[in-house]
Chain A
Amino acid sequence: MNVMDNRATSAMLYLDGVHVSFDGFHAINNLSLTLEPGEMRAIIGPNGAGKTTMMDIITGKTKPDEGTVLFDGVTDLTRLDETRIAELGIGRKFQKPTVFESQSVQDNLLLALNVDHSVKGTLFWRGSKAESERIDKVLETIRLTEARNRLAGSLSHGQKQWLEIGMLLAQDPKLLLVDEPVAGMTDVETHLTAELLKEINKTHTVMVVEHDMTFVRELGVKVTCLHEGTVLAEGTIDQVSSNERVIEVYLGR
Chain B
Amino acid sequence: MTPHMLTRSLDRSATIFLAVVAACGILIPLSNLLLPAGSFLQVPTYLVALWGKYVCYAILALSIDLIWGYCGILSLGHGAFFALGGYAMGMYLMRQIGTRGVYGNPILPDFMVFLNYSKLPWTWYGFDMFWFAALMVLLVPGLLAFCFGWLAFRSRVTGVYLSIITQAMTYALLLAFFRNDFGFGGNNGLTDFKDILGFNVQAEGTRAALFALSCLALIAGFLICRAIVSSKLGKVLIAVRDAESRTRFLGYRVESYKLFVFTVSACMAGVAGALYVPQVGIINPSEFAPGNSIEAVIWVAVGGRGTLVGAALGAVVVNYAKTFFTSGMLAPYWLFMLGALFILVTLLLPKGIVGTFNAWWDQSKEKRSAAAMASAAAEDGVTEPKMAE
Residues on A lying within 8 angstroms of B by beta carbon are: 59, 61, 81-83, 86-87, 91-92, 94, 98-104, 107, 110-112, 114, 117-119, 122-125, 149-151, 154, 167, 171
Given A149-B3, A149-B4, CB of A117 within 8 Å of CB of B233: no
Would A87 and B232 count as touching, CB distance under 8 A? no
A124 and B236 CA atoms in complex are apart in Å by 13
Q: Which residue of A lies closest to B254 (CB)?
A: A83
A101 and B242 CA atoms in complex are apart in Å by 8
Q: Which residue of A lies closest to B261 (CB)?
A: A119
Would A83 and B248 count as touching, CB distance under 8 A? yes
Q: Which among A112, A118, A125, A151 is the interface contact of B250 at CB below 8 angstroms?
A: A112
A119 and B248 CA atoms in complex are apart in Å by 13
A61 and B244 CA atoms in complex are apart in Å by 13
Q: B4, B232, B252: which has the most chain A beta carbons within 10 Å?
A: B232
For A87, what are the chain B residues with a Cβ–Cβ distance below 8 Å? 251
Would B245 and A111 count as touching, CB distance under 8 A? no
Would A151 and B242 count as touching, CB distance under 8 A? no
For B231, what are the chain A residues with a Cβ–Cβ distance below 8 Å? 122-125
Would A103 and B2 count as touching, CB distance under 8 A? no
Q: A59, A111, A150, A151: which has the most chain B beta carbons within 10 Å?
A: A111
For A103, what are the chain B residues with a Cβ–Cβ distance below 8 Å? 3, 235, 238-239, 242
A173 and B238 CA atoms in complex are apart in Å by 23
Would B2 and A102 count as touching, CB distance under 8 A? no
For A151, what are the chain B residues with a Cβ–Cβ distance below 8 Å? 2-3
A91 and B260 CA atoms in complex are apart in Å by 26
Nearest-neighbour CB distance to chain A for B301, whole angstroms, equals 18
For A81, what are the chain B residues with a Cβ–Cβ distance below 8 Å? 248
Interface size class of chain B, counting residues whose CB lies under 8 Å from the partner chain: 20 to 34
For A91, what are the chain B residues with a Cβ–Cβ distance below 8 Å? 249
A and B contact pairs by CB, cutoff 8 A, 27 listed:
A82-B245, A82-B248, A86-B251, A87-B251, A91-B249, A92-B249, A98-B243, A100-B242, A100-B246, A104-B3, A107-B3, A107-B235, A111-B232, A111-B235, A111-B239, A111-B247, A114-B251, A117-B252, A117-B253, A119-B253, A119-B256, A122-B231, A122-B236, A125-B233, A149-B1, A151-B2, A167-B250
Would B232 and A83 count as touching, CB distance under 8 A? no
Residues on B lying within 8 angstroms of A by beta carbon are: 1-4, 228, 231-233, 235-236, 238-239, 242-243, 245-254, 256-257, 260
Extra 7 A-B pairs, beta carbons < 8 Å, given A91-B249, A107-B3: A59-B249, A61-B245, A100-B242, A101-B242, A119-B260, A122-B235, A125-B231
Nearest-neighbour CB distance to chain A for B2, whole angstroms, equals 6
A82 and B233 CA atoms in complex are apart in Å by 19
For B236, what are the chain A residues with a Cβ–Cβ distance below 8 Å? 111, 122
Q: Which among A102, A104, A167 is the interface contact of B242 at CB below 8 angstroms?
A: A102
Nearest-neighbour CB distance to chain A for B92, whole angstroms, equals 32
Would A86 and B256 count as touching, CB distance under 8 A? no
For B260, what are the chain A residues with a Cβ–Cβ distance below 8 Å? 119
Q: Which residue of A lies closest to B306 (CB)?
A: A102
For A149, what are the chain B residues with a Cβ–Cβ distance below 8 Å? 1-4
Would B243 and A117 count as touching, CB distance under 8 A? no
A86 and B248 CA atoms in complex are apart in Å by 8
Q: B228, B242, B250, B252: which has the most chain A beta carbons within 10 Å?
A: B250
For A100, what are the chain B residues with a Cβ–Cβ distance below 8 Å? 238-239, 242-243, 246
For B254, what are the chain A residues with a Cβ–Cβ distance below 8 Å? 83
Nearest-neighbour CB distance to chain B for A63, whole angstroms, equals 14
Given A82-B248, A98-B246, CB of A119 within 8 Å of CB of B257: yes
Q: B243, B249, B257: which has the most chain A beta carbons within 10 Å?
A: B249
Would A110 and B3 count as touching, CB distance under 8 A? no
Q: Which residue of B lies closest to A108 (CB)?
A: B239
For B3, what are the chain A residues with a Cβ–Cβ distance below 8 Å? 103-104, 107, 149, 151
A125 and B4 CA atoms in complex are apart in Å by 19
A112 and B235 CA atoms in complex are apart in Å by 11
A79 and B201 CA atoms in complex are apart in Å by 59
Would B233 and A119 count as touching, CB distance under 8 A? yes
Q: Which residue of A lies closest to B258 (CB)?
A: A119
Given A103-B3, A107-B3, A171-B251, CB of A122 within 8 Å of CB of B233: yes
Given A110-B232, A122-B232, CB of A83 within 8 Å of CB of B246: no
A157 and B232 CA atoms in complex are apart in Å by 26
For A110, what are the chain B residues with a Cβ–Cβ distance below 8 Å? 232, 235
For B250, what are the chain A residues with a Cβ–Cβ distance below 8 Å? 86, 111-112, 117, 167, 171
For B249, what are the chain A residues with a Cβ–Cβ distance below 8 Å? 59, 82, 86, 91-92
Nearest-neighbour CB distance to chain B for A165, whole angstroms, equals 14
Nearest-neighbour CB distance to chain A for B237, whole angstroms, equals 9
Q: Which residue of A lies closest to B4 (CB)?
A: A149
Q: Which 6 A-B pairs have the closest CB atoms?
A: A86-B251, A125-B232, A122-B233, A82-B248, A122-B232, A104-B3
Q: Which among B232, B238, B253, B256 is the interface contact of A102 at CB below 8 angstroms?
A: B238
For A61, what are the chain B residues with a Cβ–Cβ distance below 8 Å? 245
A181 and B253 CA atoms in complex are apart in Å by 26
Would A117 and B246 count as touching, CB distance under 8 A? no
For B247, what are the chain A residues with a Cβ–Cβ distance below 8 Å? 111
A104 and B235 CA atoms in complex are apart in Å by 10
For A122, what are the chain B residues with a Cβ–Cβ distance below 8 Å? 231-233, 235-236
Q: Which residue of A lies closest to B252 (CB)?
A: A117
A94 and B244 CA atoms in complex are apart in Å by 13
For B4, what are the chain A residues with a Cβ–Cβ distance below 8 Å? 149
A33 and B2 CA atoms in complex are apart in Å by 46
Nearest-neighbour CB distance to chain A for B19, whole angstroms, equals 27
Would B242 and A83 count as touching, CB distance under 8 A? no
For B2, what are the chain A residues with a Cβ–Cβ distance below 8 Å? 104, 149-151, 154
A234 and B232 CA atoms in complex are apart in Å by 44
A91 and B257 CA atoms in complex are apart in Å by 21
Nearest-neighbour CB distance to chain B for A106, whole angstroms, equals 9
